[in-house]
Structure 1
Amino acid sequence: MKKHFLTLTTIALLTACGGGANNNNNTESNNGTQASTSAPATSAPVAPAADFPDWQNNKGVNPITLNPPLSDTPDAALAAKGEEIFNSYCISCHRPKKRLTGPAMIGLFDRRTPEWVMNMILVPNKMEQQDPIAKKLVEEYKSLMLDQHLTEQQAREVLEYLRTIK
Structure 2
Amino acid sequence: MASCGGSSDKPQNTSSAKPKSMIKDEPKADPKGIGEVKNVTLTDPLEESMIASGKAIYEMKCAACHKLTDQRVVGPGWAGVTNKRRPEWVMNMITNVDVMLEEDPVAQKLLEECLTRMPNQAVSIGDARSILEFMRKNDVDQVGKKDEAAK
State the percentage of identical aligned residues.
34
Which TM-score applies when normalising by structure 2?
A: 0.69
Which TM-score applies when normalising by structure 1?
A: 0.63
Q: Of 60, 68, 87, which aligns to 1:88?
A: 60
Higher-Rg structure is 2
2:120 is aligned with what amino acid? D
| Alpha-carbon distance in 1 for matches of 2:48, 2:39 | 16
Aligned twin of 2:147: none
Residue 72 of structure 1 deviates from its aligned partner by 2.9
Residue 66 of structure 1 deviates from its aligned partner by 4.7
Report SS of the residue matched to 1:162.
helix
| Alpha-carbon distance in 2 for matches of 1:66, 1:143 | 28
Residue 64 of structure 1 deviates from its aligned partner by 1.1
Q: Of 106, 109, 115, which aligns to 1:136?
A: 109
1:86 is aligned with what amino acid? Y
2:118 is aligned with what amino acid? M
1:96 is aligned with what amino acid? L
1:147 aligns with 2:125: no
Aligned twin of 1:125: 98
Aligned twin of 2:37: 64
Aligned twin of 1:36: none
- Listed as ranges, the gaps of 5+ residues in structure 2 are 1-27, 143-151
Please list every run of at least 4 consecutive aligned residues from structure 1 whose deviation after the TM superposition is greater than 6 angstroms. none
